[in-house]
Amino acid sequence: MDFYLVQFLSGLAQAATLFLVASGLSIIFGVTRIVNFAHGSFYMLGAYLAWTFVERWGSDVLGFWGGVLLAALLVGALGAVMEVLLLRRLYRSPELFQLLATFGVVLLVQDAAFGVWGPEDLLGRRAPLLKGTVDILGRPFPLYDLVLIALGPAVLGLLWLLFNRTRWGTLVRAATQDREMTAALGVDQARLFTGVLFLGSALAGLGGALQVPREAVNLHMDMAMVVEAFVVVVVGGMGSLPGAFLASLLIGQLQAFGILVFPQITLVLVFLFMAVVLVLRPYGLLGRKEEAPPPAAAAGPPFAPTGRRAGLAALAALAALAAVPLLAGEYALIVLTEVAILALAAASLHLLVGFGGLVSFGHAAYFGLGAYGAALLVKHVAAPMPLALLGAPVLAGAAALIAGWFCVRRSGLYFAMLTLAFAQIAWSITFQWYGVTGGDNGILGVWPPAWAASRAVYYEVTLALVAAALWALRRAAFAPFGYTLRAGRDSPLRAEAVGIDVRRHQWLGFALAGTAAGLAGGLYAFAKGSVFPTLLAVPQSVDALVMVLMGGIQTVAGPVVGAAAFHLLRTTLMASEHWRVILGLVIVALVLLFPQGIAGFARRLWNRGAEA
């Protein structure tokens, strides 16, 4: 009994931090309708800044709490700066662009934190006067955690007062419901939004700062926390503060007790919980049904099936690529093989994002599962390569069929979050199921057999399979199936009204995309000779989105061009230790300056030429 009580209390303490961060995310989302990936980065910065201040002044009570507060305020100011420089330009952009742009900020902050505080975990000083423990039914419990437990409801109360008893709060709530009407009544939205970003980011910073006495500060805090905070916000209901509070409590307890029962899969538990909640209560525990969602992710001009000339051009390009081994060296072949594989992965994602308007934030899961499928077949049953390459898309496709069933139940941001959740589940299985997957050591020695061992032969094999798969994806995209997907993207209600089962088509599209990504993953495993859990991780999913975006969402050739450009850029940048900054800046620049992508840009030049 006493043991469980202590466990319960630690769950509450964890919930308090979770609530601080999630409430900030929820407030920002409510007003700006932007899911701010950088929120986790602000949490991390809060922790780092507080660590620095507390090291310097934290020996007495005033210095410690002053340092914590200062860290939170600085982080809030940074959030306000981000609003002015970046978000303000994105309020009318498709969700995909907003998510990617804030992910660019994640990369920038990571590099900055790495530069300032270095790669080591930093252990902070403990809070003066609160270093000890209290006896709870004979068991020691940290005094500091009791303070945290009290802080959660206190912050909820203060926020409630702010939003319900001040003019500023009333204006924020009004803007949450109808931005345009609020502006027409004379409210300066720009200033309101800057204020909201300040408040939300400061809450994240405070959450991070308060963690300093509890756990080591490190460079992984950002993604871990932002994903959890998303879960809390989605489970509680987007934009609902009481919902976020309730969800924090539940998830805090789930973690505290889950670790006793299933120490291996606490992450999976949290995401499963979210998936179940979303299926049972689509708008979260205390969320309200939203009015018509903003325009689809990337609605744009319809794709025209490319003519015979373009088909011939593609064949010519394929022939030229097939002839490359005659001229090129080993290294060029390695890079080209990877480009071909990534092109397939990007094209499969493009089927969802471009044609279906379904922005998946977890597409790497199917790529990674394909890679693991092939590697496991080789490792555990010594399967020959063709069999392993067949197993890859089968495993990934089956996983996509299951995940897709849940995901297509929701659209927009919820869809993105659900795909992210399933990717995290898949990731944690590969990461934590040590006996089968080797955990973070991965699986090594997945090489092609003797006949395909030369780089040139494996390149040709890859090229042939990728070309065939791309052709199949195109066929699907321009078959009635593809047109239905687009109808679901552009006018779901109308499509439903004429009797098209949009959801079913989206489900099949999801499975098809997953299968294709799985084939790419299988090819990747043999190209690299090894697989690791990072293949399924969030950054990998974001890379795939960047490829699609780089190539241009509204063009059919986009993903192939984008994958080539992205991979070549990355291979040249790998040497630089600042590749994160560069990638982050590339993302932000793409979103702000070239939203139509490389292929879209080229097409526009081409059309202009044709008109002249």
Partner 1 sequence: MTALLTVDGLHAWYGRAHILQGVGLTVGRGEVVALMGRNGAGKSTTMKAVMGLLAERRGRVAFAGTDVSAWPPHRIARLGLGYVPEDRRVFAELTVRENLEVGRQPPRAGAPLWTPDRLYALFPNLAEMKDRRGARMSGGEQQMLTLARTLMGNPSLLLLDEPSEGLAPRIVQQMADAVRTLKAEGLSVLLSEQNLGFAAAVADRAVVIEKGVVRWDGAMAALLEDGDARRAYLAV
Binding site for partner 1 (CB under 8 A): 167, 170-171, 173-174, 176-178, 180-189
Closest distance to partner 1 from the beta carbon of 523 (Å): 43
Closest distance to partner 1 from the beta carbon of 185 (Å): 5
Residue 128: what are its φ and ψ, rounded to 5°? -60, 145
Closest distance to partner 1 from the beta carbon of 361 (Å): 29
Asked if 526 and 341 touch (Cβ cutoff 8 Å), the reply is no
Closest distance to partner 1 from the beta carbon of 358 (Å): 24
Closest distance to partner 1 from the beta carbon of 77 (Å): 24
**Encoding tokens for residue 360?**
């998946």
Alpha-carbon span 435 to 205, nearest angstrom? 38
- Closer of 87 and 105 to partner 1 (Cβ): 87
- Closer of 135 and 180 to partner 1 (Cβ): 180
Closest distance to partner 1 from the beta carbon of 354 (Å): 20
- Closer of 90 and 344 to partner 1 (Cβ): 90
- Closer of 192 and 314 to partner 1 (Cβ): 192
Closest distance to partner 1 from the beta carbon of 31 (Å): 13
Q: Which of these, 584, 539, 576, lies nearest to 108 by C-alpha position?
A: 584
**Encoding tokens for residue 309?**
């000339």
Alpha-carbon span 469 to 343, nearest angstrom? 11
- Closer of 163 and 458 to partner 1 (Cβ): 163
Asked if 421 and 275 touch (Cβ cutoff 8 Å), the reply is yes
How are the residues of the chain apportioned to helix, strand and coil, as percentages rounded to the nearest 5? 75, 0, 20
Closest distance to partner 1 from the beta carbon of 301 (Å): 11
- Closer of 184 and 319 to partner 1 (Cβ): 184
C-alpha dist (Å) from residue 210 to 52, 68, 73, 515, 528: 13, 7, 13, 44, 42
Asked if 450 and 458 touch (Cβ cutoff 8 Å), the reply is no
DSSP codes of every residue in 1-12: -HHHHHHHHHHH
- Closer of 175 and 469 to partner 1 (Cβ): 175
Q: Which of these, 392, 357, 379, lies nearest to 442 by C-alpha position?
A: 379
- Closer of 304 and 382 to partner 1 (Cβ): 304
Helix (H, G, I), strand (E, B) or coil at 135: strand
Alpha-carbon span 438 to 444, nearest angstrom? 9
Asked if 346 and 563 touch (Cβ cutoff 8 Å), the reply is yes
Dump strand ranges (E) for 406-550.
443-444, 530-531
* Cα 251 off chain centre by: 20
Q: Give the CA angle between residues 412, 234, 46 to the nearest 5°.
A: 110
- Closer of 170 and 572 to partner 1 (Cβ): 170
Closest distance to partner 1 from the beta carbon of 86 (Å): 19
